[in-house]
Amino acid sequence: MLRHLDAAHDRFGLSTPFRISRGVKTAADVVTVTIRQGETAGRGEAVPYARYGETIDDTLAAIRAIAPRIAAGATRADLAALLPAGAARNAVDCALWDLEARLAGTSVAALAGIAGPVALPSAITIGLDTPDAMARAAAKVAHVPLLKIKVDRTDPAAQIAAVRAAAPAPRLIVDPNESWTIETLAALAPYLSGWRIDLLEQPLPAGEDGALAGFDGPVPVCADESLHTAADLDALAGRYDVVNIKLDKTGGLTEALALANAARAKGFGLMIGCMVCSSLGIAPAMLLGAEAAFVDLDGPLWLGEDRPGGVIDRNGMLSPPAPGFWGDAA
């Protein structure tokens, strides 16, 4: 039976601005893919990211260009030859997983041979701001198990110290989003253990992370922008301890599962992350969370209004979407 692919741009306004070192976001612009076969439809979502040269229009064009191949029956296994790793492939891959599970009357977890989604301790992000404002934001969520702090090069010591003072209990991830130099990292290294930082995420620009080779810091360092697919892992050895898997980078759940297995085999710890997106972008990623040391899937929590039936956060524990939302035949 022929399939029909539809791709659309959806926008979700944020409840509060999301600030990181490279800019401010006030809305989540996503691409939603729906693939129909008869009366059954599968959905996927992706966030085109300017950091990787992606735009909404280019992503939509790439997806629509392969629509005839999808209509003729192209499978997830065919996608790597049709689209590069990135947002476009992610949306299509996740829609095909969803469709396949619904047609088979089962779940994506069962098809993949992995455990189903469960509630996970997921990071609550403290956006970049003045140290005082970051402290106020942290104080409101000081009871959660895991916080992620967005910092830059202006005064990261004050930013981190303010959050830690306001939230003494949670585990902490610090994310400079490529804004530091090796000199900044070396200067701050003696203080990181005192602040009880659990993970430092992508401190240096991806093109400069060779400086991390041989760097003996006090906390594990995680690759984010430096990692996209399993092909990148060998170059990260000796530089990073943990890798951040995001489906918008890998090009979907299919490659993300392969990357997770390859990363574990090479001795890397796992972090599962996301862009600012709706729960449709989070549902597939939650299938990877149980095997990860760090989970950062709070993208939908920034939205003024999520898709109906999406994930729910209760005190830093993220519960999966309602049955039938994505990835099962309920």
156-183 pLDDT tens trace: 999 999 999 999 999 999 999 999 999 9
pTM of the model: 0.96
CATH numeric code, 3-106: 3.30.390.10
Work out the end-to-end distance of the chain between its first and last CA atoms, rounded to an integer number of angstroms.
22
Per-residue pLDDT of the chain (330 residues; tens, 9 = 90+): 689 999 999 999 999 999 888 888 999 999 999 999 999 999 999 999 999 999 999 999 999 999 999 999 999 999 999 999 999 999 999 999 999 999 999 999 999 999 999 999 999 999 999 999 999 999 999 999 999 999 999 999 999 999 999 999 999 999 999 999 999 999 999 999 999 999 999 999 999 999 999 898 999 999 999 999 999 999 999 999 999 999 999 999 999 999 999 999 999 999 999 999 999 999 999 999 999 999 999 999 999 999 999 999 999 999 999 999 999 987
In the chain, what are the domain boundaries?
3-106, 120-319
State the catalytic residue, choosing from 25, 140, 148, 246.
Answer: 246
Q: Which residues are annotated as a binding site for Mg(2+)?
A: 175, 201, 224
Number of H helices, E strands in the chain: 12, 14
The residues, ordered by sequence, that sit 6+ positions from 8 with a Cβ below 8 Å of its Cβ are: 31, 32, 34, 60
Q: Is 246 annotated in the active site?
A: yes
Percent of the chain residues topping a pLDDT of 70: 100
Q: Is 25 a catalytic residue?
A: no
Tell me how far CA of residue 210 lies from CA of 53, 152, 153, 238, 246, in angstroms: 22, 20, 19, 9, 22
Binding residues are 175, 201, 224
The domain over range 120-319 is classified in CATH as 3.20.20.140: no
| Per-residue pLDDT reduced to its tens digit, 256-280 | 999 999 999 999 999 999 999 999 9
Indicate which residue of 25, 140, 148, 150 is catalytic: 150
